[in-house]
Amino acid sequence: MANNRLSMRKITEALRLLHECSRSHREIATAIGTSPTTVGNYLRRAQQAGITHPFPEGVTDDEINARLFPPLPPPDIIRSEPDWAWVHRELRKKSVTLDLLWQEYKADHPDGFRYSWFCKQYRSWVGKLSVTMRQTHTPGEKLFVDYAGQTIPIIDGLSGEIRQAQLFVAVLGASNYTYVEATWTQTMPDWIGSHVRTVEFLRGVPELVVPDNLKSGVNHPSYYDPEINPTYRDLAAHYGVAILPARVRKPRDKAKVECGVLVAERWILARLRCQFHVQFAGKWIA
């Protein structure tokens, strides 16, 4: 009983400091001698119960306590557990929090689990995920670009000279929509030109371009502050996009374009291996 009276005094003081003094959780915690997490729990329960300060006249501490800490449902009641995969996907969206998702869950399942259980179970579920979990991409957000490892032999129909051309590949993250073209080199003019033709082909620009650390695009690779080539940076400024190079020796950062390269090698290079004519930057070259 003494503990209950002490808790009610702390809750009453926490509500007073919040509503009458506009104090922060941390300041309230210091004032009543508890942690900010506990203060947050008190205030969240009060908000859910519709309790503000000052309390209505005639309401006793026991009544307030019963509204703040309702009894647990009987153990034979089966409560719906959230779809943790859906929760995980929703959290990737801007401004979405666990508290918001829990409130939506409670709206659909009034007898559902409490917020503390919700957070604990979600973190437990996330902890069981593989670190190589499949990435979720927002439509129009990222464009992954790279060159294929294989080259295309271009045979001069007059001299018989064979010259190797490079295969540029660009893949949209969400749809896997792919653009492929051949250029003579991986140097700056061809690198920039391929980006321009990609944008023209897609008829739009993404929010982010994710290249490999090719010298034509990235002067100095860095995990925290990569140095983007000035011409490449000017291209990004012209189209209003951001450049986010993949980390060095982290192929999963650009897994989409790695798959796109594999598809291009299988469906283009492999099928053209016995032919003397290939399409080069939109034209057939012998």
Using a 10 angstrom Cβ sphere, with 0-12 exposed, 13-18 middle and 19 or more buried, the burial of residue 265 is: middle
- Tally of domains in the chain: 3
Residue with the two structure tokens 């650390």 = 213
> Is residue 115 in some structural domain?
yes
User: Dihedral, CA atoms, 83, 88, 89, 95, nearest 10 degrees?
Assistant: 120
Q: Are 261 and 169 in contact (CB under 8 A)?
A: yes
- Residue 102 shares a structural domain with residue 165: no
Cα angle: 175, vertex 184, 192; to 5 degrees: 55
Tell me if 136 is assigned to some domain: no
Q: Are residues 242 and 148 in the same domain?
A: yes
Considering the domain architecture, whether residues 187 and 265 belong to the same structural domain is answered as: yes
Q: Is residue 78 part of a domain?
A: no
Q: Assess if residue 247 is contained within a domain.
A: yes
Q: Is 33 a member of any domain?
A: yes
- Residue 41 sits in which domain range? 2-68
Kindly give, in sequence order, each residue whose CB lies less than 8 Å from that of residue 90, ignoring residues fewer than 6 positions away: 96, 101
Predicted TM-score (pTM) of the model is 0.48
Residue 133 resides in a domain = no
263 and 150 within one domain: yes
CA distance 34 to 7: 10
51 contacts: CB under 8 Å, gap ≥ 6: 15, 64, 67, 68
- Residue ending a domain, choose from 17, 42, 68: 68
Under DSSP, is residue 167 helix (H, G, I), strand (E, B) or coil?
A: strand
Q: Are residues 194 and 110 in the same domain?
A: no
Domain with residue 10: its CATH number is 1.10.10
- 233 and 196 co-located in one domain: yes
Say if residue 117 is in the same domain as residue 64: no
Are 173 and 261 within one domain? Answer: yes
Residues 265 and 269: their CA atoms lie apart, in Å, by 5
Q: Are residues 193 and 100 in the same domain?
A: no
The 10 Å CB-count burial string (b at 16+, else e) for 1-24 is: eeeeeebbebbbbbbbbbeeeebe
pLDDT of residue 59: 72
Same domain, 113 and 228: no
Residue 26 lies in a domain: yes
Tokens 């060095």 belong to 248
Please check whether residues 178 and 223 belong to one and the same domain.
Answer: yes
Question: Is residue 279 one of the residues assigned to a domain?
Answer: yes
- Residues 228/215, Cβ–Cβ less than 8 Å: no
Are both 264 and 146 inside the same structural domain? yes
pLDDT tens for the chain, residues 1 to 286: 445 566 777 888 888 888 888 888 888 888 888 888 888 888 888 888 777 777 777 777 777 777 777 776 565 556 678 888 888 888 888 788 888 899 988 888 887 888 888 888 888 888 877 555 456 677 888 888 889 888 888 887 788 788 899 999 998 888 888 899 999 998 999 999 999 999 999 999 999 888 887 777 676 555 555 678 889 989 989 999 988 887 765 656 556 667 878 877 777 777 776 654 444 444 444 3
How many beta carbons lie within 10 A of that of residue 213, not counting itself? Answer: 16
Residue 147: give its domain's CATH number: 3.30.420.10
